[in-house]
Amino acid sequence: MGVKICCIGAGYVGGPTMAVIALKCPDIIVHVVDISKPRIDAWNSDELPIYEPGLDEVVKACRGKNLFFSTDVERLVAESDIVFVSVNTPTKTSGLGAGKAADLTYWESAARMIADVSTSDKIVVEKSTVPVKTAEAIEKILTHNKKGINFEILSNPEFLAEGTAMEDLNQPDRVLIGGRETPGGQKAVAALKAVYAHWVPEENILTTNLWSAELSKLAANAFLAQRISSINAMSALCEATGADVSEVAYAVGKDSRIGPKFLNASVGFGGSCFQKDILNLVYICECNGLPEVANYWKQVVQINDYQKDRFVRRVVSSMFNTVSGKKVAVLGFAFKKDTGDTRETPAIDVCHGLLQDKALLNIYDPQVTEDQIKRDLSLNKFDWDHPHHLQPTNPTTLLNQVSVVKDAYEATKGAHGVCVITEWDEFKKLDYQKIYDGMQKPAFIFDGRNVLNGSELRKIGFIVYSIGKPL
Protein backbone atom coordinates (compact mmCIF):
# COMPACT_ATOMS: atom_id res chain seq x y z
CA MET A 1 0.00 0.00 0.00
CA GLY A 2 1.06 3.56 -0.68
CA VAL A 3 0.98 6.53 1.63
CA LYS A 4 -1.83 7.04 4.12
CA ILE A 5 -3.79 10.25 3.73
CA CYS A 6 -6.06 11.91 6.26
CA CYS A 7 -8.05 15.05 5.56
CA ILE A 8 -9.34 17.19 8.43
CA GLY A 9 -12.60 18.87 7.36
CA ALA A 10 -15.30 17.01 5.39
CA GLY A 11 -16.79 20.07 3.69
CA TYR A 12 -17.24 21.30 0.12
CA VAL A 13 -13.50 21.02 -0.46
CA GLY A 14 -12.38 18.12 1.75
CA GLY A 15 -15.15 15.73 0.64
CA PRO A 16 -14.93 16.03 -3.17
CA THR A 17 -11.12 16.46 -3.24
CA MET A 18 -10.47 13.34 -1.20
CA ALA A 19 -13.09 11.36 -3.14
CA VAL A 20 -11.22 12.12 -6.37
CA ILE A 21 -7.83 11.27 -4.84
CA ALA A 22 -9.30 7.94 -3.68
CA LEU A 23 -10.74 7.26 -7.13
CA LYS A 24 -7.54 8.07 -8.99
CA CYS A 25 -5.16 6.44 -6.50
CA PRO A 26 -6.42 2.94 -5.63
CA ASP A 27 -3.11 2.29 -3.85
CA ILE A 28 -3.72 5.10 -1.34
CA ILE A 29 -6.01 4.90 1.67
CA VAL A 30 -7.88 8.12 2.27
CA HIS A 31 -9.66 9.02 5.52
CA VAL A 32 -11.78 12.14 5.74
CA VAL A 33 -12.42 13.25 9.33
CA ASP A 34 -14.56 15.95 10.86
CA ILE A 35 -15.72 17.05 14.29
CA SER A 36 -19.27 17.32 12.98
CA LYS A 37 -20.98 13.96 13.49
CA PRO A 38 -24.05 14.84 11.37
CA ARG A 39 -21.75 15.72 8.46
CA ILE A 40 -19.81 12.46 8.72
CA ASP A 41 -23.04 10.46 9.11
CA ALA A 42 -24.32 12.09 5.94
CA TRP A 43 -21.12 11.23 4.04
CA ASN A 44 -21.68 7.63 5.12
CA SER A 45 -25.33 7.64 4.00
CA ASP A 46 -27.16 7.75 0.66
CA GLU A 47 -27.86 11.47 1.13
CA LEU A 48 -24.45 13.17 0.89
CA PRO A 49 -24.19 16.45 2.82
CA ILE A 50 -23.44 18.45 -0.32
CA TYR A 51 -24.93 18.45 -3.79
CA GLU A 52 -22.33 18.32 -6.53
CA PRO A 53 -22.96 16.75 -9.96
CA GLY A 54 -21.01 13.47 -10.31
CA LEU A 55 -19.99 13.28 -6.64
CA ASP A 56 -22.41 10.52 -5.62
CA GLU A 57 -21.00 8.08 -8.16
CA VAL A 58 -17.40 8.61 -7.09
CA VAL A 59 -18.20 8.33 -3.37
CA LYS A 60 -20.22 5.17 -3.97
CA ALA A 61 -17.40 3.63 -6.01
CA CYS A 62 -14.71 4.25 -3.37
CA ARG A 63 -16.43 4.39 0.03
CA GLY A 64 -15.49 1.42 2.18
CA LYS A 65 -12.67 0.44 -0.22
CA ASN A 66 -10.04 3.15 0.08
CA LEU A 67 -12.22 6.09 1.08
CA PHE A 68 -13.53 6.40 4.65
CA PHE A 69 -15.42 9.08 6.55
CA SER A 70 -15.04 9.20 10.32
CA THR A 71 -15.19 11.31 13.48
CA ASP A 72 -12.25 9.43 14.97
CA VAL A 73 -10.10 12.46 14.20
CA GLU A 74 -7.14 11.98 16.52
CA ARG A 75 -6.44 8.30 15.82
CA LEU A 76 -6.66 8.68 12.05
CA VAL A 77 -4.48 11.77 12.02
CA ALA A 78 -1.90 9.95 14.15
CA GLU A 79 -1.82 7.01 11.73
CA SER A 80 -1.38 9.03 8.53
CA ASP A 81 1.62 10.22 6.54
CA ILE A 82 0.02 13.19 4.79
CA VAL A 83 -2.55 15.33 6.64
CA PHE A 84 -4.61 17.73 4.56
CA VAL A 85 -6.23 20.52 6.53
CA SER A 86 -9.40 21.68 4.82
CA VAL A 87 -11.28 23.36 7.65
CA ASN A 88 -13.29 26.54 7.23
CA THR A 89 -11.51 29.90 7.41
CA PRO A 90 -14.33 32.47 7.60
CA THR A 91 -14.04 36.22 8.03
CA LYS A 92 -13.51 37.31 11.66
CA THR A 93 -16.63 38.91 13.07
CA SER A 94 -15.14 40.37 16.23
CA GLY A 95 -11.85 41.56 17.66
CA LEU A 96 -8.78 42.68 15.74
CA GLY A 97 -9.42 42.76 11.98
CA ALA A 98 -13.18 42.13 12.41
CA GLY A 99 -14.99 42.24 9.07
CA LYS A 100 -11.84 41.55 7.04
CA ALA A 101 -9.20 39.26 8.53
CA ALA A 102 -9.45 35.49 8.23
CA ASP A 103 -10.55 33.68 11.37
CA LEU A 104 -7.94 30.97 11.83
CA THR A 105 -9.44 29.49 15.02
CA TYR A 106 -10.37 26.20 13.32
CA TRP A 107 -7.02 25.95 11.58
CA GLU A 108 -5.10 26.63 14.76
CA SER A 109 -7.03 24.06 16.75
CA ALA A 110 -6.46 21.48 14.01
CA ALA A 111 -2.71 22.25 14.06
CA ARG A 112 -2.53 21.95 17.84
CA MET A 113 -4.34 18.63 17.67
CA ILE A 114 -1.93 17.34 14.99
CA ALA A 115 1.01 18.37 17.20
CA ASP A 116 -0.53 16.64 20.22
CA VAL A 117 -1.40 13.30 18.68
CA SER A 118 1.47 12.72 16.24
CA THR A 119 3.97 10.00 16.97
CA SER A 120 5.55 9.85 13.48
CA ASP A 121 6.81 12.32 10.85
CA LYS A 122 4.10 14.02 8.81
CA ILE A 123 3.51 16.23 5.84
CA VAL A 124 0.87 18.80 6.76
CA VAL A 125 -0.90 20.30 3.76
CA GLU A 126 -2.73 23.63 3.84
CA LYS A 127 -5.76 22.98 1.67
CA SER A 128 -7.89 25.74 3.20
CA THR A 129 -7.46 29.22 1.81
CA VAL A 130 -5.30 31.09 4.32
CA PRO A 131 -3.53 34.45 4.60
CA VAL A 132 -0.03 34.55 3.12
CA LYS A 133 2.50 33.58 5.82
CA THR A 134 0.09 31.27 7.66
CA ALA A 135 2.50 28.35 7.17
CA GLU A 136 5.00 30.18 9.37
CA ALA A 137 2.52 30.35 12.25
CA ILE A 138 1.45 26.73 11.74
CA GLU A 139 5.06 25.62 11.73
CA LYS A 140 5.56 27.30 15.10
CA ILE A 141 2.55 25.50 16.57
CA LEU A 142 3.55 22.13 15.15
CA THR A 143 7.21 22.20 16.09
CA HIS A 144 6.60 23.69 19.52
CA ASN A 145 5.06 20.59 21.06
CA LYS A 146 7.00 17.55 19.93
CA LYS A 147 10.58 16.51 20.13
CA GLY A 148 11.98 14.33 17.40
CA ILE A 149 8.98 14.46 15.08
CA ASN A 150 9.49 16.20 11.78
CA PHE A 151 6.64 18.18 10.25
CA GLU A 152 6.90 19.52 6.72
CA ILE A 153 4.31 22.11 5.76
CA LEU A 154 3.05 22.49 2.22
CA SER A 155 0.61 24.93 0.70
CA ASN A 156 -1.68 23.23 -1.81
CA PRO A 157 -4.60 25.60 -2.36
CA GLU A 158 -7.76 24.34 -4.02
CA PHE A 159 -9.14 26.02 -7.15
CA LEU A 160 -12.33 24.01 -7.67
CA ALA A 161 -15.58 25.87 -8.20
CA GLU A 162 -18.84 24.55 -6.75
CA GLY A 163 -21.21 22.98 -9.23
CA THR A 164 -18.27 21.89 -11.40
CA ALA A 165 -16.08 20.49 -8.61
CA MET A 166 -15.76 17.01 -10.09
CA GLU A 167 -14.67 18.25 -13.53
CA ASP A 168 -12.32 20.76 -11.95
CA LEU A 169 -10.74 18.03 -9.83
CA ASN A 170 -10.54 15.50 -12.67
CA GLN A 171 -8.92 17.94 -15.06
CA PRO A 172 -7.48 20.84 -13.10
CA ASP A 173 -6.03 23.79 -15.03
CA ARG A 174 -3.17 23.42 -12.57
CA VAL A 175 -2.27 21.94 -9.22
CA LEU A 176 -0.17 24.26 -7.10
CA ILE A 177 2.23 23.00 -4.45
CA GLY A 178 4.35 25.36 -2.38
CA GLY A 179 7.03 24.14 -0.01
CA ARG A 180 10.15 25.13 1.89
CA GLU A 181 13.29 25.34 -0.24
CA THR A 182 15.12 22.91 2.07
CA PRO A 183 15.89 19.27 1.21
CA GLY A 184 13.13 18.16 3.59
CA GLY A 185 10.71 20.67 2.06
CA GLN A 186 11.50 19.54 -1.47
CA LYS A 187 11.11 15.89 -0.51
CA ALA A 188 7.64 16.66 0.85
CA VAL A 189 6.75 18.55 -2.36
CA ALA A 190 7.81 15.48 -4.37
CA ALA A 191 5.68 13.18 -2.20
CA LEU A 192 2.55 15.27 -2.72
CA LYS A 193 3.34 15.69 -6.41
CA ALA A 194 3.46 11.89 -6.72
CA VAL A 195 -0.13 11.70 -5.45
CA TYR A 196 -1.45 14.15 -8.07
CA ALA A 197 0.74 12.63 -10.79
CA HIS A 198 -1.61 9.61 -10.72
CA TRP A 199 -3.89 11.64 -13.02
CA VAL A 200 -2.62 15.20 -13.53
CA PRO A 201 -0.04 15.74 -16.32
CA GLU A 202 3.33 16.71 -14.88
CA GLU A 203 3.41 20.09 -16.65
CA ASN A 204 0.18 21.07 -14.89
CA ILE A 205 1.65 20.53 -11.43
CA LEU A 206 3.32 23.79 -10.46
CA THR A 207 5.75 23.98 -7.59
CA THR A 208 6.66 27.25 -5.88
CA ASN A 209 7.83 28.53 -2.54
CA LEU A 210 5.32 28.51 0.31
CA TRP A 211 4.43 32.19 0.23
CA SER A 212 3.86 32.27 -3.53
CA ALA A 213 1.46 29.35 -3.29
CA GLU A 214 -0.47 30.91 -0.39
CA LEU A 215 -0.69 34.29 -2.12
CA SER A 216 -1.53 32.85 -5.56
CA LYS A 217 -4.79 31.48 -4.17
CA LEU A 218 -5.89 34.87 -2.84
CA ALA A 219 -4.69 36.55 -6.04
CA ALA A 220 -6.58 34.12 -8.30
CA ASN A 221 -9.87 34.69 -6.46
CA ALA A 222 -9.30 38.45 -6.45
CA PHE A 223 -8.69 38.47 -10.23
CA LEU A 224 -11.78 36.33 -10.90
CA ALA A 225 -14.04 38.47 -8.73
CA GLN A 226 -12.55 41.60 -10.26
CA ARG A 227 -13.68 40.51 -13.71
CA ILE A 228 -17.25 40.13 -12.45
CA SER A 229 -17.20 43.52 -10.74
CA SER A 230 -15.72 45.07 -13.88
CA ILE A 231 -18.49 43.75 -16.11
CA ASN A 232 -21.12 44.58 -13.48
CA ALA A 233 -19.83 48.15 -13.30
CA MET A 234 -20.14 48.28 -17.11
CA SER A 235 -23.71 46.92 -16.85
CA ALA A 236 -24.76 50.06 -14.96
CA LEU A 237 -23.26 52.23 -17.68
CA CYS A 238 -24.96 50.09 -20.36
CA GLU A 239 -28.33 50.69 -18.75
CA ALA A 240 -27.66 54.42 -18.71
CA THR A 241 -26.59 54.58 -22.35
CA GLY A 242 -28.47 51.92 -24.33
CA ALA A 243 -25.46 49.64 -24.82
CA ASP A 244 -26.05 45.91 -24.22
CA VAL A 245 -23.68 44.36 -21.67
CA SER A 246 -23.72 40.94 -23.37
CA GLU A 247 -22.59 42.51 -26.63
CA VAL A 248 -19.93 44.53 -24.82
CA ALA A 249 -18.70 41.43 -22.95
CA TYR A 250 -18.57 39.43 -26.16
CA ALA A 251 -16.66 42.12 -28.03
CA VAL A 252 -14.23 42.69 -25.16
CA GLY A 253 -13.73 38.97 -24.52
CA LYS A 254 -12.84 38.33 -28.18
CA ASP A 255 -9.48 39.94 -27.42
CA SER A 256 -7.37 36.87 -26.76
CA ARG A 257 -5.50 38.78 -24.06
CA ILE A 258 -8.77 39.21 -22.14
CA GLY A 259 -10.62 36.00 -23.05
CA PRO A 260 -14.35 35.24 -23.01
CA LYS A 261 -14.88 33.52 -19.66
CA PHE A 262 -16.22 34.97 -16.42
CA LEU A 263 -17.71 38.07 -18.02
CA ASN A 264 -21.38 37.40 -17.28
CA ALA A 265 -23.01 40.43 -15.72
CA SER A 266 -25.20 39.43 -12.80
CA VAL A 267 -27.05 40.57 -9.71
CA GLY A 268 -23.66 40.16 -7.99
CA PHE A 269 -21.26 37.39 -7.12
CA GLY A 270 -21.87 35.20 -4.09
CA GLY A 271 -20.32 32.10 -2.59
CA SER A 272 -18.32 31.50 0.51
CA CYS A 273 -14.99 32.64 -0.88
CA PHE A 274 -14.76 35.65 -3.20
CA GLN A 275 -15.75 38.29 -0.67
CA LYS A 276 -13.99 36.59 2.23
CA ASP A 277 -10.74 36.13 0.35
CA ILE A 278 -10.65 39.67 -1.04
CA LEU A 279 -11.34 41.17 2.38
CA ASN A 280 -8.57 38.99 3.73
CA LEU A 281 -6.26 40.29 0.99
CA VAL A 282 -7.29 43.86 1.83
CA TYR A 283 -6.46 43.26 5.48
CA ILE A 284 -3.06 41.79 4.66
CA CYS A 285 -2.26 44.82 2.47
CA GLU A 286 -3.28 47.17 5.27
CA CYS A 287 -1.14 45.26 7.77
CA ASN A 288 1.80 45.52 5.40
CA GLY A 289 1.44 49.30 5.11
CA LEU A 290 -0.05 49.25 1.60
CA PRO A 291 -3.32 51.23 1.90
CA GLU A 292 -3.45 52.08 -1.83
CA VAL A 293 -3.32 48.42 -2.77
CA ALA A 294 -5.90 47.61 -0.08
CA ASN A 295 -8.29 50.26 -1.42
CA TYR A 296 -7.87 49.05 -4.99
CA TRP A 297 -9.11 45.54 -4.09
CA LYS A 298 -11.78 46.79 -1.70
CA GLN A 299 -13.54 48.37 -4.67
CA VAL A 300 -14.24 44.89 -6.09
CA VAL A 301 -16.41 44.10 -3.05
CA GLN A 302 -17.92 47.59 -2.97
CA ILE A 303 -19.09 47.33 -6.60
CA ASN A 304 -20.59 43.94 -5.76
CA ASP A 305 -22.62 45.43 -2.91
CA TYR A 306 -23.63 48.30 -5.20
CA GLN A 307 -24.83 45.84 -7.85
CA LYS A 308 -27.08 43.91 -5.41
CA ASP A 309 -28.46 47.17 -4.07
CA ARG A 310 -29.03 48.55 -7.56
CA PHE A 311 -31.05 45.42 -8.45
CA VAL A 312 -33.37 45.87 -5.46
CA ARG A 313 -33.81 49.56 -6.22
CA ARG A 314 -34.68 48.70 -9.82
CA VAL A 315 -37.33 46.19 -8.74
CA VAL A 316 -38.96 48.62 -6.34
CA SER A 317 -38.78 51.66 -8.62
CA SER A 318 -40.15 49.74 -11.63
CA MET A 319 -43.11 48.51 -9.64
CA PHE A 320 -44.31 52.07 -9.08
CA ASN A 321 -41.95 52.75 -6.18
CA THR A 322 -43.50 50.31 -3.79
CA VAL A 323 -43.67 46.57 -3.36
CA SER A 324 -45.54 46.80 -0.08
CA GLY A 325 -48.08 43.98 0.13
CA LYS A 326 -47.20 42.78 -3.38
CA LYS A 327 -46.29 39.20 -4.07
CA VAL A 328 -42.85 38.83 -5.61
CA ALA A 329 -41.58 35.45 -6.82
CA VAL A 330 -37.91 34.79 -6.14
CA LEU A 331 -36.60 32.09 -8.48
CA GLY A 332 -33.36 30.64 -7.19
CA PHE A 333 -31.70 31.07 -3.82
CA ALA A 334 -28.35 29.23 -4.23
CA PHE A 335 -25.34 31.44 -5.05
CA LYS A 336 -25.02 29.77 -8.48
CA LYS A 337 -26.66 26.91 -10.37
CA ASP A 338 -25.96 23.23 -9.67
CA THR A 339 -25.28 23.72 -5.99
CA GLY A 340 -27.41 23.87 -2.87
CA ASP A 341 -24.90 26.21 -1.24
CA THR A 342 -26.30 29.54 -0.09
CA ARG A 343 -23.26 31.06 1.58
CA GLU A 344 -23.09 34.81 0.73
CA THR A 345 -25.70 34.28 -1.98
CA PRO A 346 -26.95 37.56 -3.48
CA ALA A 347 -30.46 36.17 -2.88
CA ILE A 348 -30.09 36.96 0.84
CA ASP A 349 -29.41 40.65 0.20
CA VAL A 350 -32.10 40.91 -2.47
CA CYS A 351 -34.70 39.28 -0.19
CA HIS A 352 -33.70 41.51 2.75
CA GLY A 353 -34.06 44.58 0.54
CA LEU A 354 -37.50 43.54 -0.73
CA LEU A 355 -38.71 42.53 2.73
CA GLN A 356 -37.72 45.91 4.11
CA ASP A 357 -40.03 47.39 1.49
CA LYS A 358 -42.73 45.02 2.84
CA ALA A 359 -42.93 42.71 -0.18
CA LEU A 360 -44.49 39.24 0.19
CA LEU A 361 -41.92 36.77 -1.09
CA ASN A 362 -42.58 33.38 -2.70
CA ILE A 363 -39.19 31.71 -2.90
CA TYR A 364 -38.33 28.62 -4.94
CA ASP A 365 -34.98 26.91 -5.44
CA PRO A 366 -34.56 23.36 -6.80
CA GLN A 367 -31.82 22.46 -4.30
CA VAL A 368 -32.21 24.66 -1.22
CA THR A 369 -34.54 23.54 1.55
CA GLU A 370 -37.13 25.74 3.26
CA ASP A 371 -35.23 25.40 6.54
CA GLN A 372 -32.03 26.64 4.97
CA ILE A 373 -33.71 29.63 3.33
CA LYS A 374 -35.45 30.65 6.55
CA ARG A 375 -32.25 30.20 8.54
CA ASP A 376 -30.31 32.34 6.05
CA LEU A 377 -32.88 35.11 6.19
CA SER A 378 -33.06 35.14 9.98
CA LEU A 379 -29.31 35.09 10.59
CA ASN A 380 -27.42 38.17 11.61
CA LYS A 381 -25.81 39.64 8.56
CA PHE A 382 -22.37 41.08 9.17
CA ASP A 383 -21.54 44.41 7.55
CA TRP A 384 -17.91 44.18 6.45
CA ASP A 385 -17.69 47.87 5.67
CA HIS A 386 -18.73 49.09 9.12
CA PRO A 387 -18.09 45.99 11.24
CA HIS A 388 -21.37 45.46 13.04
CA HIS A 389 -24.32 43.14 12.67
CA LEU A 390 -27.19 44.35 10.52
CA GLN A 391 -30.71 43.66 11.72
CA PRO A 392 -31.77 40.17 10.65
CA THR A 393 -35.28 39.57 9.37
CA ASN A 394 -37.36 39.07 12.52
CA PRO A 395 -39.47 35.93 13.03
CA THR A 396 -42.78 37.75 12.51
CA THR A 397 -41.67 39.18 9.18
CA LEU A 398 -40.43 35.74 8.16
CA LEU A 399 -43.74 34.15 9.10
CA ASN A 400 -45.92 36.80 7.48
CA GLN A 401 -43.91 37.80 4.42
CA VAL A 402 -41.92 34.73 3.30
CA SER A 403 -43.19 31.48 1.82
CA VAL A 404 -40.92 28.84 0.39
CA VAL A 405 -42.68 26.83 -2.30
CA LYS A 406 -42.09 23.64 -4.28
CA ASP A 407 -41.96 24.89 -7.87
CA ALA A 408 -41.67 27.96 -10.06
CA TYR A 409 -45.35 27.96 -11.10
CA GLU A 410 -46.51 28.00 -7.52
CA ALA A 411 -44.04 30.78 -6.75
CA THR A 412 -45.25 33.01 -9.57
CA LYS A 413 -48.99 32.45 -9.13
CA GLY A 414 -50.69 35.75 -8.32
CA ALA A 415 -47.35 37.58 -8.22
CA HIS A 416 -46.77 41.12 -9.46
CA GLY A 417 -43.14 40.47 -10.24
CA VAL A 418 -40.62 37.66 -10.75
CA CYS A 419 -36.93 37.97 -9.81
CA VAL A 420 -34.52 35.42 -11.25
CA ILE A 421 -31.59 35.26 -8.85
CA THR A 422 -29.91 31.93 -9.74
CA GLU A 423 -29.27 30.78 -13.32
CA TRP A 424 -30.78 27.27 -12.91
CA ASP A 425 -31.32 25.68 -16.36
CA GLU A 426 -34.92 24.82 -15.50
CA PHE A 427 -35.82 28.52 -15.35
CA LYS A 428 -35.01 28.84 -19.06
CA LYS A 429 -37.47 26.10 -19.94
CA LEU A 430 -40.52 27.29 -17.99
CA ASP A 431 -43.83 27.93 -19.74
CA TYR A 432 -43.80 31.71 -19.45
CA GLN A 433 -47.19 32.10 -21.12
CA LYS A 434 -48.67 30.01 -18.31
CA ILE A 435 -46.75 32.07 -15.76
CA TYR A 436 -47.95 35.33 -17.33
CA ASP A 437 -51.55 34.15 -17.31
CA GLY A 438 -51.36 33.42 -13.59
CA MET A 439 -49.77 36.75 -12.59
CA GLN A 440 -51.14 40.19 -11.68
CA LYS A 441 -50.88 42.75 -14.48
CA PRO A 442 -48.72 44.52 -15.44
CA ALA A 443 -46.46 41.50 -14.96
CA PHE A 444 -42.78 42.27 -14.31
CA ILE A 445 -39.73 40.05 -14.75
CA PHE A 446 -36.35 41.06 -13.35
CA ASP A 447 -33.70 38.76 -14.79
CA GLY A 448 -30.73 39.00 -12.43
CA ARG A 449 -28.74 36.49 -14.48
CA ASN A 450 -29.58 37.37 -18.08
CA VAL A 451 -30.73 33.82 -18.78
CA LEU A 452 -34.19 34.54 -20.20
CA ASN A 453 -35.13 35.58 -23.72
CA GLY A 454 -36.28 39.17 -23.17
CA SER A 455 -37.90 39.70 -26.58
CA GLU A 456 -39.96 36.48 -26.30
CA LEU A 457 -41.13 37.53 -22.86
CA ARG A 458 -42.08 41.00 -24.10
CA LYS A 459 -44.13 39.39 -26.85
CA ILE A 460 -46.11 37.55 -24.19
CA GLY A 461 -46.74 40.85 -22.44
CA PHE A 462 -44.20 40.99 -19.63
CA ILE A 463 -42.32 44.13 -18.67
CA VAL A 464 -38.74 42.83 -18.64
CA TYR A 465 -35.67 44.17 -16.92
CA SER A 466 -32.35 42.41 -17.58
CA ILE A 467 -28.98 43.39 -16.16
CA GLY A 468 -27.14 45.84 -18.40
CA LYS A 469 -29.64 45.67 -21.28
CA PRO A 470 -31.87 48.24 -22.93
CA LEU A 471 -35.43 48.19 -21.59
Which sequence positions are flagged as catalytic?
273
Q: Name every residue whose Cβ is closer than 8 Å to that of residue 374 and which is 6 or more positions away in sequence.
A: 398, 402, 404
The interface partner of residue 221, options being ligand UGA, ligand NAD, none and the CB cut-off 5 to 8 Å by kind, is ligand UGA
Nearest-approach distance from CB 192 to ligand NAD, in angstroms: 17
Nearest-approach distance from CB 243 to ligand UGA, in angstroms: 18
Closest CA to 168 of 342, 8, 20, 61: 20
Given 59, 87, 351, 457, the residue binding ligand NAD (CB under 6 A): 87
Closest CA to 16 of 338, 438, 270, 281: 338
Q: Name every residue whose Cβ is closer than 8 Å to that of residue 350 and which is 6 or more positions away in sequence.
A: 267, 308, 311, 312, 315, 330, 419, 421, 448
- 13 among annotated binding-site residues: yes
Element (H, E) at 241: helix 210-241
Nearest-approach distance from CB 152 to ligand NAD, in angstroms: 20
Is the separation of the CB atoms in 142 and 151 below 8 Å?
A: yes
The interface partner of residue 266, options being ligand UGA, ligand NAD, none and the CB cut-off 5 to 8 Å by kind, is ligand UGA
Is residue 409 part of the contact set for ligand NAD (CB under 6 A)?
Answer: no
Residue ranges that bind ligand UGA, judged by CB under 6 A? 129, 158-162, 221, 224, 228, 262-264, 266, 269-271, 273-274, 335-336
The residues with which 402 forms a beta bridge, in sequence order, are: 361
Given 5, 6, 7, 12, the residue binding ligand NAD (CB under 6 A): 12
Nearest-approach distance from CB 236 to ligand NAD, in angstroms: 28
Cis peptide leading into residue 442 (ω within 30°): yes
List, edge to edge, every strand of the sheet that includes 175-179: 67-70, 29-33, 4-8, 82-85, 122-126, 151-155, 175-179, 205-209
Element (H, E) at 210: helix 210-241
Q: Which of residues 157-176 bind ligand NAD (CB under 6 A)?
A: 158, 160, 162
Nearest-approach distance from CB 150 to ligand NAD, in angstroms: 22
- Give the C-alpha separation, 452 to 1, whole Å: 53
Nearest-approach distance from CB 84 to ligand UGA, in angstroms: 15
Q: For the window 91-130, what string marks contact with ligand NAD as x by the rule CB under 6 A?
A: ---------------x--xx-----------------xx-
Comparing CB distances to ligand UGA, the nearer of 294 and 451 is 451
The interface partner of residue 77, options being ligand UGA, ligand NAD, none and the CB cut-off 5 to 8 Å by kind, is none
* 123: three-class secondary structure by DSSP: strand
Is residue 86 part of the contact set for ligand NAD (CB under 6 A)?
Answer: yes
Q: Which of residues 346-405 bind ligand NAD (CB under 6 A)?
A: none
First-to-final CA distance of the chain: 64
Number of residues that bind ligand NAD (CB under 6 A): 26
Comparing CB distances to ligand NAD, the nearer of 106 and 199 is 106
Q: Which of residues 19-58 bind ligand NAD (CB under 6 A)?
A: 34-36, 39
Nearest-approach distance from CB 101 to ligand UGA, in angstroms: 17
Beta strands 205-209 and 175-179, pairing class: parallel
- Give the C-alpha separation, 78 to 117, whole Å: 6
The interface partner of residue 89, options being ligand NAD, ligand UGA, none and the CB cut-off 5 to 8 Å by kind, is ligand NAD
Q: Name every residue whose Cβ is closer than 8 Å to that of residue 330 and which is 6 or more positions away in sequence.
A: 347, 350, 351, 354, 361, 362, 363, 364, 411, 419, 421
Interacting stretch for ligand NAD, rule CB under 6 A, among 2-10, 22-30, 191-199, 406-414? 2-10
Given 228, 249, 273, 284, the residue binding ligand NAD (CB under 6 A): 273
Q: How far is CA 276 from CA 90, 103, 283, 344, in A?
A: 7, 10, 11, 9
The interface partner of residue 335, options being ligand UGA, ligand NAD, none and the CB cut-off 5 to 8 Å by kind, is ligand UGA
Q: Name every residue whose Cβ is closer than 8 Å to that of residue 404 and which is 6 or more positions away in sequence.
A: 363, 364, 370, 373, 374
Beta strands 82-85 and 463-466, pairing class: unpaired
Query: Annotated binding residues for NAD(+), as ranges?
Result: 9-14, 34, 39, 87-91, 128-129, 162, 273-276, 343
Query: Annotated binding residues, as ranges?
Result: 9-14, 34, 39, 87-91, 128-129, 162, 273-276, 343
In the complex, the residues that contact ligand NAD under the rule CB under 6 A are 8-14, 34-36, 39, 73, 86-89, 106, 109-110, 128-129, 158, 160, 162, 272-273
